[in-house]
Amino acid sequence: MNTSENNTGLSEANLRRIEQLKAHYQNPQSVLLEALWMWQGEHGWISEEGMRYVANLVGAPHHHVLGVVTFYTMFNRKPVGRHKLEVCTNVSCMLRNSERLLNHLEARLQIKTGETTPDNRFTLVEAECLGSCGTAPAMQVGDRYYENLDTAKVDKILDELK
Amino acid sequence: MEPLLLPPIPDYHRIEVYEAHDGYAMLKKALAMKPVEITNEVKASKLRGRGGACFPTGLKWSFMPRESAKPKYLCVNGDESEPGTFKDRQIFECNPHQLIEGTIIACYAMGIKAAYLYVRGEYKHWIDIVQKAVDDAYAHGYIGQNILGSGFSTEFTVHRGAGAYICGEESSLMNSVEGERGYPRVKPPFPAQNGLWGCPTTINNVETIANIPVILRIGAVAYSKIGAERHPGPILVGVSGHVNKPGVYEMPTGVPLLEIINTYAGGVPGNKKIKAVIPGGSSTMVLRGDALDGVCMDAESLKAAGSAVGTAGVIVMDEDTDLVKVLWRIARFYHHESCGQCTPCREGTGWMEKILKRFVDNNGSYADIDLLRDVANNIEGNTICALGDAAAWPVQSVIRTFRGEFERRVRG
Ligand SMILES: Cc1cc2nc3c(=O)[nH]c(=O)nc-3n(C[C@H](O)[C@H](O)[C@H](O)COP(=O)(O)O)c2cc1C
Ligand code: SF4
Ligand code: FES
């Protein structure tokens, strides 16, 4: 993830992709989610500036983009740690002890669920069902899934995530 | 039964391997048929949707206007966010080309020029797999202009969601494709008249569409003889919770739940008794573990047992499970995912979560049991979309069949 703050727009490659994608829909506004994904991918979270930029790009009013960003839970509306740990606590994971996992993470990172470590490395949140119920308990970090977790595995993953 | 949706062929997700096993042969066959013949074949197969409501697929297709001044659309629903459900992901990973082939056949049958595959945002890894398969299928001439020289053209776009269970609801999904918030629409009008951008639209689940090439390959009659008579075909059953071998299993419909749990999924760890089973994802009524005899994985049998097939996501809970806590977690999910348009759903899901939390904390009263039931009853049937019902059903069923669990909590 590129989180450089002086970078104000989207990359050339992403801009080209957006223009291509617009041709796939009756209304260019349909590329809004994809454009927001790109902004988050390049900047880590979706700022006011990001929303204005994307609004302009897809031809939607700013308040519309704001409404969309706040509706979908995967868009970060404030900066998050380098690694956002999203631990599923829904039923199938709960039955396989996700609660112990979450407690372990809180203790090890010395933060509560919803917080970010002071070194900005980890943000810890609870997730709804990730579609990994057959390999529960599961956690998502960025685009990656970690499954069949136990505390030892989680420790190892944390050591690897720099 | 030979696996028809998830054949155990190494690298089947790669286009060369898929082609080497007669992949896209059914697309060729379909393009030589009349569109209406395909819809009739799907009708005769008795395929019913695998997205939760078990609606007959051929009938749904026949609602689409034959002639239309406006373009027509297909949305393939891969939002897969129902707790306990993880089957479409298996199709993305192991058999994306069968999904693509089915999609193009469906488009041809209904005269559709553009299909959108909507996939939940969390599935980035699987989106990449499907996108690669789509790119390859374009390169091989199975999607795009003048497909296989037939004169028929259609486009295929993968659309990534961004975290919202409600976007699996069909009208919410269409709003999401339009770049809107995922608010469900009031029906009627139904999507076949007034769907995506106000145009005729059909929405089908990923697994439903993956069945289409199978129907053409083995024939509607043979297909209709697989499994349960009124709800036939292969079905992907995801088993999770307290079982030795959780996972997705392909089987004919109509297999007894106890066989699914004990044979396919290897039984309950420590040979414990089963306290309860959610048979079809968190939106279906909870069944008692001691009332599973003769209950099978098909629409009729599960309905008779007081529940539903839903997404065939079977969640197994052993005798030590804190069912009240499970129910609270489910209520919290629906409260979190309610889009807030309807008061009974927005407020009711919040109340149910709060009341259930009181029981979890051992602060619930006898009156709370009835209050909880009343809140659930007031949501059911009073909302724009079925999320409200989905939130009410597990609560209603647990109060009905496990009242003792609550009463024990009150007595402390
Ligand atoms: C709250 C809610 C969530 C839903 N989520 C999904 C989903 O993730 N995937 C799906 O295929 N259908 C889902 N559905 C059902 C769809 O509205 C629709 O019935 C289905 O996609 C139709 O496909 P089928 O006829 O092939 O089953 C959901 C329905 C509701 C009310
Ligand atoms: S029932 Fe709930 S989720 Fe569905 S439209 Fe109403 S408030 Fe939204
Ligand atoms: S309940 Fe955790 S992944 Fe489904």
pLDDT digits (tens, 9 = 90+) for B339-357: 999 999 999 999 999 999 9
Length of chain B: 412
Cα–Cα distance measured from residue B13 to residue B10, given in angstroms and rounded to the nearest whole number: 8
Give the separation between CA B311 and CA B315, rounded to whole angstroms. Answer: 11
Question: Do A134 and A67 sit in the same domain of this protein?
Answer: no
Q: Which of A50, A71, A92 is at the close of a domain? A: A71
The Å distance, Cα A138 to ligand 3 centre, comes to 7
The DSSP code sequence of B173-219 is HHHHHTTS--PPPPSSSPTTTS-GGGS-EEEEEHHHHHTHHHHHHH-
Q: State how far the Cα of A86 lies from the Cα of A137, in Å rounded to an integer.
A: 11
Task: Kindly report the CATH number assigned to the domain that includes residue A100.
Answer: 3.40.30.10
For the Cβ of B141 lying below 6 angstroms from any atom of ligand 2, the answer is: no
Q: How far apart are CA B346 and CA B338, in angstroms?
A: 6
pLDDT in tens, A42-84: 999 999 999 999 999 999 999 999 999 999 999 999 999 999 9
Per the domain annotation, does A7 fall within a domain? Answer: no
Under a CB-based contact definition with an 8 Å cutoff, are residues B200 and B73 in contact? Answer: yes
Look up residue B267 and give its two tokens: 């039984």
**A92, A151: one domain:** yes
CA pair distance A93, B144, nearest whole angstrom: 41
Chain A CA closest to residue B113: A24
In a shared domain, residues A50 and A87: no
Average pLDDT, chain B: 98
The pLDDT of residue B400 is above 60: yes
Tens digits of per-residue pLDDT, B220-229? 999 999 999 9
Q: B349: Cβ below 6 Å to ligand 2?
A: no
Asked if the structure places residue A136 within a domain, the reply is yes
Q: How confident is the model at residue A5 (pLDDT cuts 50, 70, 90)?
A: very low
ipTM tops 0.95: yes
Peptide bond into B269 cis (omega under 30): no
Say whether both A88 and A66 belong to one domain: no
Instruction: Look up the domain containing A157 and give its range.
Output: 83-161
Distance from CA of B76 to the nearest CA of A (A): 15
The CA-atom distances, in angstroms, between B68 and each of B73, B106, B200 are 11, 17, 8
Are the beta carbons of B84 and A92 separated by less than 8 Å? yes
Residue A77 belongs to some domain of the structure: no
pLDDT at A1 over 50: no
Give the pLDDT confidence score for residue B284 in this predicted structure: 97
pLDDT at B145: 98
- Are A36 and B164 a contacting pair at CB < 8 A? no
B174-219 pLDDT tens trace: 999 999 999 999 999 999 999 999 999 999 999 999 999 999 999 9
Same domain, A20 and A64: yes
Tell me, yes or no, whether A1 lies in a domain: no
Angle at B45 between CA B108 and CA B313, to 5 degrees: 95
Q: Domain containing A55 — which CATH number? A: 1.10.10.1590
Residues A127-147: what's their mean pLDDT?
Answer: 98
Task: Compute the distance between CA of residue A29 and CA of residue A1 in angstroms, rounded to an integer.
Answer: 25
The reply to whether A44 and A107 lie within a common domain is: no
Instruction: Give the contacts of B338 (CB within 8 A, at least 6 positions apart).
Output: B166, B345, B346, B349, B387, B388, B391
Average pLDDT for residues B263-291, to the nearest whole number?
98
Nearest to B81 among A31, A89, A129 (CB): A129
pLDDT of residue A162: 84
Q: pLDDT, tens digit, for every residue of B295-313?
A: 999 999 999 999 999 999 9
Indicate if A119 and A51 belong to the same structural domain: no
Facing residues of B95 across strands? none
Q: Examine residue A100 and state whether it is found in any structural domain, yes or no.
A: yes
- In angstroms, what separates the C-alpha of A84 from chain B's closest C-alpha? 13
Mean pLDDT, range B353-370, rounded to an integer: 97
My answer on whether A63 and A92 are in the same domain is no
Q: Which of B308, B302, B305, B359 is nearest to B331 (CA)?
A: B359
Best mutation target, A17, A63, A95, to test chain B (most B CBs within 10 A): A95
CA distances from B184 to B181, B243, B381 (A): 9, 36, 15
Phi, psi of B202 (to 5 degrees): -115, 140
Angstrom distance (rounded) from CA A131 to CA B168: 13
Q: Summarize the confidence of residues B129-146 as an average pLDDT.
A: 98
Q: Are residues A64 and A101 in the same domain?
A: no
| Paired tokens of B316 | 């197994």
Residues A66 and A108 placed together within one structural domain of the fold: no
Contact list, B198 vs chain A (CB under 8 Å): none
Q: C-alpha distances in angstroms, B332 versus B195, B297, B328? A: 31, 27, 6
B 165-204 near A (Cβ less than 8 A):
165, 176-182, 196-197, 199
The whole-number pLDDT of residue A2 equals: 44
Q: Which atom of ligand 3 is nearest to the CA of B86?
A: 4
If you average pLDDT over residues B379-385, what whole number do you get?
97
pLDDT higher than threshold 90 for residue B411: no
**How many domains does chain A contain in total?**
2
Task: Dump the DSSP string for B326-340.
Answer: HHHHHHHHHHHH--S
Q: Taking a C-beta distance cutoff of 8 angstroms, is the pair B96, B128 a contact? A: no
Chosen domain end from A71, A92, A109 = A71
Q: Is A26 on the interface with B (CB under 8 A)?
A: yes
Among the listed residues A159, A160, A125, the one whose alpha carbon sits nearest the alpha carbon of residue A140: A125
Average pLDDT over residues A99-111: 98
- Domain shared by A90 and A156, yes or no: yes
On whether both A57 and A94 belong to a single domain, the answer is no
For residue A7, what pLDDT is reported? 60
Q: Do B330 and A91 touch (CB under 8 A)?
A: yes
pTM above 0.95, yes or no: yes
